[in-house]
Amino acid sequence: MDSGLPKKPYLHVRVSCPDPRPLEGTLNVLNPLYTHHSEEKGILSLVFPSDNVDWTLRRLSGMSAQFEILEAGLSSRLETSGYRLMLPGGISMVSPGPGITPGAGDIVLKQNLSFGTGHHPTTELSIRLLREAFTVADIKAVFDLGTGSGILALYAAKLGASRILAVDIDPRACKEALEAVRTNDIGHRVFVVQGSIEAARPGVFDLVLANLTIGTLRTLAREIPGILRNPGFAVISGFTTGQVDQILRYIGTTEVIKNINQEGWAAVLIRTTR
């Protein structure tokens, strides 16, 4: 099967599977980067590197269990059907599709190729903690580090942030995030720039959002307190439950306000001081 999918940092797949043991042989061959089985939900989450997506999908198709692609650029499920997500705070995010039309006040996020449809656990966790940050502090200026589709920046704008700088090293993500900003008519509050943490002026942001891989966080996390006011807040995700302490060490002096997890992924809301 030729998936036709563009190359992504990884492929995240959800397999309906009450008991993963019969799949062990296939999984040994597939060699996922990350595996988590939720007994309660009967769901096996698998993350693969992007370099052999077609081969991985062919192998997965050969399994008896049903699987669903959660993040791999455009999954066929998301391509053909729009969706509506209810975000905390009664805010609705709509990806238009047959029979699904955005209403007044909805966040509109067209289906695109960048990470951030709202379905990945790390995006969901970030959304929950982003909302929490607005309940514990007066958040005006936000830096969205690795904006992808722009989903967190759009939600921060909806929650009331007045200035949001959204950056991504991927030009395609920037193009799509910019389109999302225009679609939602918030170009006066959200600025999209191709780049990374160096785009941020020191000491000016109330909140940093960083849903990144552990490798990227290893390099960038220690710079986060420096771009925040003192004190400041950050929502960090993209790592597993076992990596929380490591992340906190990278960042330095912090107070953990909340640490949440889902399907083996974790996210923290922290208060930083310098």
Footprint of ligand SAM (CB under 6 A)? 114-116, 123, 126, 145-148, 151-152, 167-170, 173, 196, 211-212, 216, 220, 238
CB of 1 to ligand SAM, least distance (A): 25
CA distance 29 to 70: 21
**17 vs 115 by CB, closer to ligand SAM:** 115
**141 vs 212 by CB, closer to ligand SAM:** 212
CB of 121 to ligand SAM, least distance (A): 10
Is residue 149 a contact partner of residue 78, using CB atoms and an 8 Å limit? no
- Classified as helix, coil or strand, 128 is helix
**32 vs 148 by CB, closer to ligand SAM:** 148
**126 vs 272 by CB, closer to ligand SAM:** 126
- Please give the residue whose beta carbon sits closest to ligand SAM in the complex: 146
b/e per residue 83-117 (b: at least 16 CB within 10 A): bbbebbeebebbbbbeeeebeeebbbbebbbbbbb
CB of 123 to ligand SAM, least distance (A): 3
**211 vs 240 by CB, closer to ligand SAM:** 211
CB of 145 to ligand SAM, least distance (A): 6
DSSP string, 174-219: HHHHHHHHHHTT-TTTEEEEES-GGGSPTT-EEEEEEE--HHHHHH
CB of 126 to ligand SAM, least distance (A): 5
In sequence order, what are the residues at sequence separation of 6 or more whose Cβ sits closer than 8 angstroms to the Cβ of residue 51? 7
